[in-house]
Amino acid sequence: MRLIIFLLSSFLLIPTSTTAFAQSKSGAEVAQAVLDHLGGSAPWAQAQSARIMEVHISQWARLPYTHEVWIDFTAPRVLVRIRNQDMRQRRAMNGDSGWWIRGGNLTDYESDFLKDEFKRWRASPYRILHLMALQEPTLGYQMLDDRTLQIALKGEAILRFILNENFEPIGFSKYNDNFETLTMLEPLEEFGEVRLWKEAHLPNATQFRSLNLEFELSPAPPMVSFSPPADMEK
Chain-centroid distance, C-alpha 214: 14
The model's confidence at residue 148, banded by pLDDT at 50, 70 and 90, is very high
pLDDT in tens, 77-111: 999 999 999 899 999 999 999 999 998 899 999 99
Q: Cα(65)–Cα(55) distance, rounded to whole angstroms?
A: 6
For the chain, give the longest Cα–Cα distance: 58
Digit-coded pLDDT (tens) for 159-192: 999 999 999 999 999 999 999 999 999 999 999 9
Give the per-residue pLDDT at 22: 53
What region, left, alpha or beta, does residue 213 occupy, with left being phi > 0 and alpha being psi -120 to 50 degrees?
A: alpha
pTM, 2 dp:
0.88
Domain coordinates of the chain in residue numbers? 2-77+128-218
pLDDT digits (tens, 9 = 90+) for 219-233: 999 999 999 987 765
The Cα–Cα gap between 105 and 99 comes to 10
Q: What is the pLDDT of residue 205?
A: 82
Q: What does 125-174 look like in DSSP terms, one character per residue?
A: HHHHHHHHHTT-TTEEEEESSSSEEEEEETTEEEEEEEE-TTS-EEEEEE
Distance CA(18)–CA(120), nearest Å, equals: 30
